Amino acid sequence: MRILRDIAGAIAVVGLFAAGIILIAASWWNADDWKYYIKLIGEARPMLAISGIAYIILAILIVVVRFYRSRGNYLTFDREGGRVTIATKVIEDYIAKLMVEFPAVIKMMPKVTASRDSVDVAVDVRIKAGPQIREICEILQQRVRDSMFSGLGITQTRYVEINVRKIVGQAEPDMKSISDKEGL
């Protein structure tokens, strides 16, 4: 069904583009050669040119919109029982809910990019200051990958990137080191 829709879309774009060129050309045809057509058209030459330009712009817009929509707003799986489509926004919301498992993470903003054969995840985080930031990021990275597989069934995760965008607050002092310094 998708192939038929793509073919119909391509035919429509080519048809609109061709009609636009023909209308622009018709506005410049010699009246002696095209008396019949000009008689039908009358004084509509400027309107022909405007219509032709509009058709060409419409054809270009269709191509741009189809290209933009196919760039990964949805992740599609073809299974035995049919097709499953998941919006990348839904996957991002699902990943963002993992934040409750990490008390040191203050804010988490995932961005999912889907291509034909894989999924890429970039997670921007704001995290509390502390000595274990690297470990938290590594655990978060693995947890995102695991939840993509176990919760959503997505096995084609190419990479998970954790970007620490901001470290908030001072590192809380370790009570053991304070007691050692004070001789307690």
Whether residues 61 and 131 share a domain: the answer is: no
Whether residues 106 and 164 share a domain: the answer is: yes
Give pLDDT tens digits for 37-84: 666 666 666 777 787 788 788 778 877 777 665 555 777 777 788 877
Whether residues 46 and 105 share a domain: the answer is: no
| Max avg pLDDT among 10-14, 18-22, 141-145 | 141-145
Tokens 């959503």, located at residue = 152
Taking alpha carbons only, the member of 162, 166, 159 closest to residue 110 is 162
pLDDT bin (cut points 50, 70, 90) of residue 33 is low
Give pLDDT tens digits for 115-162: 766 788 999 999 998 878 899 999 999 999 998 888 887 878 888 999
Residue pair 134/145 in contact by the 8 Å Cβ criterion: no
Q: What total of structural domains would you count in the chain?
A: 2
Give the CATH number, domain containing residue 149: 3.30.300.30
In a domain, 81, yes or no: no
Taking alpha carbons only, the member of 88, 74, 87, 69 closest to residue 9 is 69
Residue 120 domain boundaries: 87-168
Whether residues 32 and 102 share a domain: the answer is: no
